[in-house]
Amino acid sequence: MVQTILNEPLYQKFNLHLIEKSWIEFFQEQIKQEYFPNLLAQIDNEYQNHWCYPPQKDVFRLFQEISLPQIKVVILGQDPYHQPKVADGIAFSTKKPNYIPATLQNIFWELSRDLDCPPPTNSNLFPWVKEGVFLLNTALTVQASKPLSHMELWKEFTYSSIKYLNDYNPEFVWVFWGKKAELIKDECQIADKLSIISTHPSPFSANFNVKHKFFGSKPFSKVNNLLIEVGKEPVNWLSIEKPAIN
């Protein structure tokens, strides 16, 4: 029954038939609710009438690439890159050759300072996903050159997925980058003791002179320390320097 639903023509545009099997129950629950078919219809209409990113087939890519049992840490950002051929369905990542977006440059600089290593040069973050890092945007799509344009459309799906993840494993480590992500933490009642909060790594906010500014927040070492506390293997953040298979 589930596979039949996910193979309907509209859902095939989003490659929902390729969702990793451990996520099927979650998507089945969403499909039964009125908002989800409406959401996909609205997003499909956006793709028909505007340039939107990532490619429609990659909107749910993250849910295809990692199973629930693989996840150790959830990093919640804002929305995809809104420039052509940059967003790839994984938050902050891009497959565009020889290109590191400004936000990702800031992430790499913070990683370099945090772990005392050279800044990475590979902008494809798929190896982090294979390490158990769930790189999720608050909105999974965006209209070209219009940041935050789809934020409200995705609100219910994002809240549902965050709550589902937290119920599935209360010992996930959480990283919230940006005010919108932090609001979700509060509304979904994510435990403070396993949460790392800062401003968004965007050039517009990474160095804001606030209590939780991104630069100097050392999220990568903090994540690994929390993982060790709950008895899990730390993330190899330098794995992205190895050739990405996907």
CATH superfamily of 53-241: Uracil-DNA glycosylase-like domain (3.40.470.10)
93, pLDDT greater than 60: yes
Please give the share of the chain, as a percent, with pLDDT higher than 90: 82
Q: Are 158 and 97 in contact (CB under 8 A)?
A: no
Residue 181 Rama label (left phi>0; alpha psi -120 to 50; beta): alpha
Which comes out higher in pLDDT, residue 74 or 11? 74
2, pLDDT greater than 70: no
3-state secondary structure of 63: helix
Whole-angstrom CA distances from 235 to 51, 107, 136, 166, 224 are 35, 15, 17, 19, 6
The tokens of 141 are what?
């799509």
148, pLDDT greater than 70: yes
Write down the pLDDT at residue 3.
Answer: 54
**Per-residue pLDDT reduced to its tens digit, 221-242:** 999 999 999 999 999 999 998 6
Write down the pLDDT at residue 9.
Answer: 80
Confidence of residue 208 (pLDDT cuts 50, 70, 90): low
pTM of the model as a whole: 0.94
Taking Cα atoms as reference points, which of 189, 190, 194, 191 lies closest to residue 226?
194
List residues bridging with 176 in a β-sheet: 76, 197
Write down the pLDDT at residue 6.
Answer: 60
Confidence of residue 43 (pLDDT cuts 50, 70, 90): very high
Confidence of residue 1 (pLDDT cuts 50, 70, 90): very low
Tokens 């989800």 sit at which residue?
Answer: 36
Write down the pLDDT at residue 42.
Answer: 96
| Strand blocks (E) in the chain | 52-53, 73-76, 133-136, 142-143, 173-177, 195-198
Question: What is the C-alpha to C-alpha distance for residues 180 and 208, in angstroms, rounded to an integer?
Answer: 15
206, pLDDT greater than 60: no
Question: What is the C-alpha to C-alpha distance for residues 103 and 109, in angstroms, rounded to an integer?
Answer: 10
Write down the pLDDT at residue 210.
Answer: 65
Which one from 58, 79, 88, 114 is the annotated catalytic residue?
Answer: 79
Write down the pLDDT at residue 233.
Answer: 97
Number of Cβ within a 10 Å radius of residue 45: 10
Known catalytic residue at 79: yes
Write down the pLDDT at residue 211.
Answer: 74
Write down the pLDDT at residue 159.
Answer: 96
Write down the pLDDT at residue 38.
Answer: 94
11, pLDDT greater than 90: no
